[in-house]
Amino acid sequence: MNTPRLTRRSFLNLAGTMSAASLLAACALPTAAPGTSEEAMAEPIVIGWARHGNEVSQATEDTLAGLFQEANPGVEIDALALPWSDYNTKIPIDIAGGTAPDTFTAHPALMINSHAAGGAANLTERINAAEPGINYADILYPGDAEFDGDIFGLPQKSCTHQIRYNKDLFAEAGLPTPGELYWSGGADAWNFNSFVEIGQQLTKDLDGDGNPDQYAYAGIGGTGNVAMLRAAGGDIFDEAVTQCLVNSPESVSGLEYMLSLVENEIIPSPELMVNELGINFDTGRMAMAGGTTCDSVQALHPDKRLPFAWDFVVLPAGPGGFRCWGDTDQSVVSTSSANPDEAFDWIVFRASLDAWEQAYDGGMKLAFTDGPTRWSTFDSRAFTEPLGELDIPMIKEGYRHTNPDPFVPRSKDPYRVLFSIYATEINNMLRGTKTPQEAADDACALIDSEILA
Amino acid sequence: MATSIRILNGTVRGKLYWRRTLEGYLFISPWIIGFAVFTAGALLGSFGISLTEWSIIGDRYWVGAGNYVKLVQDQFFWKSLQVTFLYLLNVPMNLVLGLLLALLLNQKILGLGVFRTVFFLPSVTAGVAVSLLWLWIFNPRFGVINVLLAKIGIQGPMWLGSETWAMPALIIMSVWGVGGSMLIYLAALQGIPTALYEAATIDGASHLRKFLYITIPMISPVLLLNLIIGVIGSFQVFTQAFIMTRGGPNYATLFYVLYLYQHAFQWYNMGYASALAWILFIVILVCTFLILKMSRDWVYYED
């Protein structure tokens, strides 16, 4: 019986044909689908929208897009949420290639770069034309999106970086909470000095082995150390961003204060890596720790709830007063967008209180996934009802104390300044390998040679 | 028969040759196209980028050799190069340890397969997971190393938190991946003809002499291979520093590739990062060339 056989020749012919077909297909340019002009008219305008985030963010954006589309028939929002690192690679490359989504989120550093590269459209005229409906005065941190008096973005979310404190540990130690101190006496009660006094009572050696197993404060990492420097009256740069001020007397006094916190064991030395030991805020062995008012609130979710009561407070006041770190992820309209009008309409909706309240009425709590975009958000039930366990007026205080606005220095390579050069020298000082003055001088020398030169 | 004759006189042989050549190229064409587009194309592209100032976003500005000149004046470039060369110390250590392990696992003992698997497993474990594990091992207070040192009355160092000890810690950690080279040694050891050892035994050679005069020469091509792989791998080290130290403390673990990554993807200096990448390419090329050149004196090839 003859069975069909694939001969070597026929196999090679088939393989060759398939390879050629694949190559041709790969090289082919996509073409527009044929259709009548009526069909083309009926096609919705698709607005690309990208933000960094996770699958929850994707669901959030899809829901908001649905609400927008209901009110704007004929416009479709194609939302995409990408993880932080992917986002920060993809979007700049898309901008460079002229294929950026119509609208996208720009965190402060990306905002600065997008503006410098001409990737973000100037929205000033559109915003002026949309007043008073847009109520721009209600926007949080407008400065993050302003360049030379023009506006290049509307907020997707704004956050402050505050201190979270474990109410149970304060009660156990018989201490007033930072929130009580703040509201009762402001800077007179919640300041650098009271922070040290309280902190000394909250660092404890629980097992008696001579080493603390519970610390008062997690440490001055990332954004907190700049806020503390500013609370001491110092700063990274002068206003024109032409001079490093880290080694100014005010800044050095701030560094000395940070060092005293380590020397008094109020915060662990960075080299101890106590987080890896399970000594952190979530385990209840850290009385206070940094936290953003956008992300930390997720600990109120039933499935992420911490096993103790906690709240927010702004960083203690120093000689420079209260200073909070705060920043905004701006929604910008790409200069390469073919539909800037519809893209602008979307970001206006995305920054509106309506979006929050319509979403909340539909069962979605933006308060858990996004920070507020407007001052009026703090009075909205969409914010107060989900976060009612927290001191909402204190959260609002954080925004009030975010000064200057914008908080990120508009230098070249702002993240290199903050999270590499400055952070390394702070670390050197806290480890005891440099004095505050040496660390400050070295930071300025590097900033001068690497950034300002 | 007729075909054979024609093949012998060469007329049809030419046709067949070309047809088979074409078939061969057809089969490898996916790889060739992939190489041309994604490797060679990207290489040339990155060289072009290295001659520009480009923040990914926005226009590129031609700076010619400017990035390369700047690089020579960049203290962090030299620091990262110094750190990376220092890390090369792990290579001889791992060469010796890998060989010792392979010698041990080349014995006929019970549970040999289990031992081989156990020693090789770390090599196939994800780098991020390994880094997190070693973060615990090196913890100055509760890490297993310092706990054991404390038991014999030694106060362990701060390891990753110490400018002095961070690099030795990462070199120690590199032992974790010794299973890869061990496996290659093992294959080479098993390829040595037993007749050589038998002859040496009859001649009264000791174990040491057999190791020095039979084993080492016979596996010397594999030693060379592991040396080159080790050197190239050390120049490209990234994950450990990225996860465990972020280049600190005080730039003590600022590996070259980490610095390159920072410029490219954290600070958006793509032109400068491309220049760094090309210098790394040249450094690796020179090192590999030197090793191969010197290998003529100590590598034995049977043929």
> How far does A209 lie from chain B, in Å, by closest CA?
11
| Short-list A229, A164, A170, CA closest to A395 | A164
- A303 and A347 in one domain? no
Q: What is the pLDDT along chain B (303 residues), one digit of tens a residue?
A: 444 445 545 555 688 888 899 999 999 999 999 999 889 999 999 999 999 998 877 778 999 999 999 999 999 999 999 999 999 999 999 999 999 999 998 888 888 888 888 888 888 888 888 998 999 899 888 889 999 999 999 999 999 989 999 999 999 999 888 988 999 999 999 999 999 999 999 999 999 999 999 999 999 999 999 999 999 999 999 999 999 998 989 999 999 999 999 998 888 889 999 999 999 999 999 999 999 999 988 888 876
Cα dihedral angle (A267, A188, A176, A293), rounded to 10 degrees? -60
A211 contact B CB<8A: yes
Residue A14 lies in a domain: no
Domain with A71, as residue range(s), is 44-159+328-397
CA gap A122, A160 in Å, rounded: 26
CA gap B147, B142 in Å, rounded: 6
Model confidence pLDDT, tens digit, residues B141-180: 888 999 999 999 999 999 998 999 999 999 999 988 898 8
Residue A271 lies in a domain: yes
**Residue A48 near residue A103, CB atoms below 8 Å:** yes
> How far does B152 lie from chain A, in Å, by closest CA?
18
- A446 and A348 in one domain? no
- A172 and A95 in one domain? no
Which residue is associated with the tokens 């909340």? A360
Instruction: Give A92's contacts in chain B (Cβ within 8 Å).
Output: 55-57, 268
SS3 state of residue A151: strand
The whole-number pLDDT of residue A184 equals 97
Instruction: Give B248's contacts in chain A (Cβ within 8 Å).
Output: 424, 427
Domain architecture of chain B: domains with CATH: 2-50 (no CATH), 69-295 (1.10.3720.10)
| Short-list B202, B154, B150, B146, CA closest to B172 | B146
The whole-number pLDDT of residue A416 equals 87
Nearest to A431 among B29, B76, B161 (CB): B161
The domain boundary residue, chosen from A365, A397, A429: A397
Interface probe for B, chosen from A115, A269, A271, A279 (most Cβ of B below 10 Å), is A271
Total domains in chain A come to: 2
CA distances from B3 to A18, B13, B16, B179 (A): 31, 9, 11, 53
The whole-number pLDDT of residue A34 equals 40
A89 contact B CB<8A: yes
Residue A91 lies in a domain: yes
Task: Name the packing angle between helices A353-361 and A340-350 (round to 10°).
Answer: 70
> How far does A116 lie from chain B, in Å, by closest CA?
8
> For residue A330, what is the enclosing H or E element?
strand A325-333
CA gap A52, A54 in Å, rounded: 7
| Short-list A424, A408, A84, A433, CA closest to A226 | A408
The whole-number pLDDT of residue A1 equals 40
- A346 and A268 in one domain? no
- CATH code of the domain containing A186: 3.40.190.10
The whole-number pLDDT of residue A304 equals 86
The domain boundary residue, chosen from A365, A380, A397: A397
- A128 and A147 in one domain? yes
- A187 and A128 in one domain? no
- A241 and A105 in one domain? no
Residue A422's CB: how many other CB atoms inside 10 A? 24
Q: Do A116 and B268 touch (CB under 8 A)?
A: no
Closest chain A residue to the Cα of B20, Cα to Cα: A12
Residue A30 lies in a domain: no
> How far does A417 lie from chain B, in Å, by closest CA?
10
A420 contact B CB<8A: yes
- A415 and A297 in one domain? yes
Write the burial class of residue B6 (CB in 10 Å: 0-12 exposed, 13-18 middle, 19+ buried).
middle
Residue A16 lies in a domain: no
The domain boundary residue, chosen from A361, A377, A397: A397
Residue A37 lies in a domain: no
- A283 and A427 in one domain? yes
Residue A190 lies in a domain: yes
The whole-number pLDDT of residue A5 equals 55
Residue A113 lies in a domain: yes
Interface probe for A, chosen from B20, B53, B141, B239 (most Cβ of A below 10 Å), is B141
The whole-number pLDDT of residue B266 equals 83
Q: What is the pLDDT along chain A (453 residues), one digit of tens a residue?
A: 444 455 656 655 655 555 555 544 444 333 333 444 454 456 889 999 999 988 889 999 999 999 999 999 999 999 999 998 889 888 888 887 788 999 999 988 889 888 888 889 999 999 999 999 999 999 998 888 999 999 999 999 999 999 999 999 999 999 999 999 999 999 999 999 999 999 999 999 998 888 899 999 997 666 788 899 999 999 999 988 899 999 999 999 999 999 999 999 999 988 888 887 788 999 999 999 999 999 899 888 888 899 999 999 999 999 999 999 988 999 999 999 999 999 999 999 999 999 999 999 999 999 998 899 999 999 999 999 999 999 999 999 999 999 888 778 788 788 888 888 999 999 999 988 999 999 999 999 999 988 887
Closest chain A residue to the Cα of B246, Cα to Cα: A420
Strand partners, A52: A82
The chain B residues in contact with chain A (CB within 8 A) are 23, 26-27, 29-30, 33, 54-59, 75-76, 135-136, 139-142, 158, 160-163, 247-251, 262, 265-269
- A308 and A372 in one domain? no
CB-based contacts of B202: which residues, under 8 Å, 6+ apart? Answer: none
Write the burial class of residue B135 (CB in 10 Å: 0-12 exposed, 13-18 middle, 19+ buried).
buried
Instruction: Give A270's contacts in chain B (Cβ within 8 Å).
Output: 161, 249
A282-285 long-range contacts (CB < 8 A, ≥24 apart) are: A282/A306, A284/A166, A284/A168, A284/A169, A284/A308, A285/A213, A285/A214, A285/A215
CA gap B116, B102 in Å, rounded: 9
CA gap A442, A434 in Å, rounded: 10
Q: How many CB pairs under 8 A join A and B?
A: 90
CB-based contacts of B26: which residues, under 8 Å, 6+ apart? Answer: A12, A15, A16, A19
Q: Do B250 and A272 touch (CB under 8 A)?
A: no
- A195 and A59 in one domain? no
The question of ipTM being above 0.85 is answered as no
> How far does B149 lie from chain A, in Å, by closest CA?
17
**Residue A423 near residue A225, CB atoms below 8 Å:** yes
**Residue A246 near residue A236, CB atoms below 8 Å:** yes
Which residue is associated with the tokens 């919640």? A190
Angle of CA points A207, A208, A210, to nearest 5°? 120
Q: Do B266 and A415 touch (CB under 8 A)?
A: yes
Q: Do A15 and B27 touch (CB under 8 A)?
A: yes
- A212 and A232 in one domain? yes
A427 contact B CB<8A: yes
